[in-house]
Amino acid sequence: MEGAARYGGREYRPTFAQLFTNDPAEYMSKPRVMSVEATKALCEQLHCPDADVQYRAACDLADSLSGQPAWSQLPQDELQHAIDGLVRLLGGSRGGAQEAAAAVLASLASESAGSRQAIIDAGALPPLVRLLQPIDPPLENSLGVQRWAASTLRNLAAGGPSMQKALVAPDALPPLVQLLDSTSFEVQAVAAETLGLLAAGDSGIKEAIVEARAIRPLEQLLRGDRLHDAKEQTELQQRAARALGSLA
C-alpha cells in the first residue's frame, strides 16, 4: 500500500476520522510504535507532489503520536525538513490534512527546545494563527484544526520567555481570546491554558493580553455556564483562574 507505515510488522492505514472523532483520548491512548525508518519515510512523503500521499503521511504520523515516533533519533536537518512539510500542509485547504499536521506539530513542540525552534524557523506561526480564526463556511474538522493549532502554540509557550515573545509578535492573542467563547470544551481549555502560560511572562506580554480583551471571557469561564458537564466546567474554571491570577 503506497505511503503506508508499518506497525508491528504489518501495514496500517487509518482513516483520519479514526484519529479525532468520538473519543480521541481513548483512541490516542492505544499504543502504536513507529520505527525510525518508518518515521523517516513518512517525513519524506510530506514533500511528495501528490497531495493524497502528503495527507496520508501526516495522518500516519499523527496516528503514531501515542507510540512516540522516533523524532529524537532524526538528524536535525531531517527534522527541519519534516517540519517544513508539515507547515506547508497548514496552508492548504484540506481540513483533515491541516488537523493532522497541527497535531504532529503540537507533539513536536513538546519534544525539545530544538524542535520548538525548528517550528519557529519553518515559519509556522502565521499559518497556525490563521487556523485559530473562524472561517465561513467552516472547513472540514474546523474545531479539531483550532484545537491542535492552539495546542501547538501552548506547547511553544511552555518553552520559556523567548518562545512567548515570538508568539505575541504574529498577533496570536486576539484569536486565542476568541477561542475562549468556542462551543468546544477542548478548544476553550487549550486557549485558556495558553493564555495562562503567556500571562506568566513579562509585563509587556501581560499588557498585550489585557489589550486583547482577555479579562472578560476569562471571567465568564470562571463563573461557569451550562454548556459543559461538571468535570469540564471545573477544569475550565481552574485554567481561567490561573490565567487571571497571573494577570493580576
pLDDT digits (tens, 9 = 90+) for 44-96: 899 988 888 888 888 888 877 655 567 778 888 988 999 999 999 998 867 68
153 to 37, 124, 150: CA distances (angstroms): 28, 10, 5
Q: What is the mean pLDDT of the chain?
A: 81
Q: What is the pLDDT of residues 148-160, one digit of tens each?
A: 999 999 999 999 9
Q: What is the pLDDT of residues 177-200, one digit of tens each?
A: 999 999 889 999 999 999 999 999
- CA 210 – CA 90 distance, rounded (Å): 29
Span 15-35, mean pLDDT?
45
Strands in 15-154 per DSSP E: none
Residue 1: predicted pLDDT: 30
Contact by Cβ (8 Å): 145, 104: no
* CA torsion angle 101 106 112 117 (round to 10): 70
Residue 170 preceded by cis peptide, ω within 30: no
Q: pTM value?
A: 0.82
Q: What is the pLDDT of residues 98-124, one digit of tens each?
A: 999 999 999 899 888 989 999 999 999
Model confidence at 134, pLDDT cuts 50, 70, 90, reads confident
Closest by CA to 178, choosing from 204, 143, 213, is 213
Percent of the chain with pLDDT over 90: 44
Look at the block and give the residue holding cell 491541516: 98
32 to 12, 40, 61, 104, 105: CA distances (angstroms): 10, 16, 10, 14, 18
Contact by Cβ (8 Å): 127, 82: no
Residue 226: predicted pLDDT: 63
